[in-house]
Structure 1
Amino acid sequence: MRHLKILFVLSGNSRDSVKPGRSDVLPVKNPVHQADTLRTLGHEVDFFFIKGRGLSGYLRSIPLIRRKIKNEGYDVIHAHYSLTAFAVSLAGRHRMVVSLTGSDVMGMPLLLYLTRLFSRFRWAMVIVKTREMKARLRAGKILIIPNGVDTCLFAPGDKSKAKEQLGLAGKRIVLFVADPAREEKNYSLAREAVSRLGRDDTVLLPVHGIPHEAMALYYNAADLLLLTSLWEGSVNSVKEAMACNLPVVSTDVGDVRENTQGLEGYYITSFDTAEIADMVAMALDCKCEIRARERLFELQLDSPSVARRLIEMYNSVISQPERMAKNGTRFSKYDDG
């Protein structure tokens, strides 16, 4: 197996940050975990964090990125999310892979237009999380690779002890894993649906901004995960809940239906408050055997499986003639239809 030297480039200003026990803050938990998994498979991964908010922060980063790439001689540059990828593209032509999130593709029309333009002419490969994102992007060189789940961190645990640790012993916990202030997460709908239940022992618990490694406690304490988002990419919280065999009630967004179809204890709902409340009640009262963790492995959504797909893709990009890779030439092997 070839040893790869990879540079991850991402924003240093993300609100979805994790603190790895040191004074600086490592932003965006998914690329950080992804890099850790690649390292365990024998590859070298460095980070470049774009600092400073707004357009000026990205523009100031361009010469710094160019210098970093020139001095270190990376095999491939992996930019995470569209604004970062634009900055890397303006720093010169490189063998470049770009990961996009739901907001890159499902959000502002201008951002979508620029993303389509760069993906056609500058990026060697684009990674999206769902078929819906690929269809909306409408550009070549697209590979669907959802984020993998750390199945060592996220695993079934003792529910009673977890509830006690959170000070919620005796309560039925409906977990909401997102920032309630973000409109697309639709927290008000979740609150209305749980209130409609009229159960004194049931609490809606929004969780946001805590270290990623602490989330396993919340999943194991909860009785179900509720997702009411207006749109999503590949929903990490649902996959983490699956790893813990936690039931889920979700709107039909991202890859939730695809990943959970046919599983007992997993319900897809409309945006109707009464329907959501009914399905939350069904999930809370369900005595069925939850086997979602097995499904994760069947779908190869565990972190090592996803990392191996990334490595295969990196090697495909690297193996192309340099001019083709740097100009974003179509790689037919990874055109998923």
Structure 2
Amino acid sequence: MTVLSTLQATLLRHQQAIDSALLSAVNGLTEDTQALRAYYGQMRYHLGWVDSQLQPVRSATGKLLRPTLLLLAYEAAGAWGLTEQTEYLQRALPAAAAVELIHNFSLIHDDIVDGDTERHHRPTLWTIWGTSNGINSGDGMFALGRLALWGVLEQGVTADIAVKLGAILDQTCLVIAEGQYLDMSFEGHRDISTSMYIDMIRRKTAELMACAAELGARLGTSNEETIARLRSFGEAMGIAFQVRDDLLGVWASSEESGKTEAGDIYRRKQSLPILHAREHASDEDKATLIDIYQQQETLTKEQVDIVLAIMERTGTRAYCRQFLAQQSQLASTALASIPVLQGEVPTRALDDMRVMLEFIDAAAR
């Protein structure tokens, strides 16, 4: 069994439960009126449930990585001692739905900010219904995510824990917005360092992964040591996840990525590889990089090859791989330090989190 197929099996394990929780959250919290049908239809379109005519369809969507991580952290933490019950996941499913809705709210807004016209091989929401509707749909999905979280109260979670979960999710949304601001502020700047970039992805990408792991852990246990270590795992894995994407965006073959080779260079994306290369290039190579990345015309293959050659001279690929391996090791150490619980459920959850980490870490080899 390959690493990818093992990951797919891991992500499929809770997929049906997460899908049901999402459907319940969206359908149970939205108004079913003719006047608002198109508004909520736009959100359902983004989630892959309807087509652009708002007719039911099942389109390819994301991997549900964050809600899956939340449920695995919940299981690894002991699932509040409910593992002998058939429906033990119910306690954590509202939070899993909330995290996925918050993630998708951020994607709707990101697509607008970045001008992306396609997601999961379909036109993005804003390209069909316009920028204003896109912003408003994203705002609505943000609110749905917050409302969905309070469903934990109906699953026996005490008010003090629910309030703590709400505060964590709100803080996370603020940090994500900070990360988005930093990302936008980097555009056109030549003085962005690798450390500045890593701080940005920690906020924009890793924070929600850390949040998912912490929410799951807090629903599963009151042990603060376990909670802290699971959160650390989520944060390190989130940073590694983004760096893996950065590596693949430059060096993955078209067969591996399903995209144009060196696509991030053609798009002149300010990802970790280009920032490292620019920091460590000779004066001549640095000037060349600046000229290529500032030009208005589409990059040629020859120019992309020049950028790749500069990255080779600066040891950029090796640096990115080493940094990814370091983050993977941090995540692995956090997992290994979680107090061991007896039982099939926490043991399998920890194994599944190791599978996630192995998939990400494979890009460092």
Task: Give the TM-score range, shorter chain.
Answer: 0.3 to 0.5
The TM-score, its normalising length taken from structure 1, stands at: 0.33
Tell which has more relative contact order, 1 or 2 (C-alpha 8 A, sep 6+): 2
Q: Which has the higher strand share?
A: 1
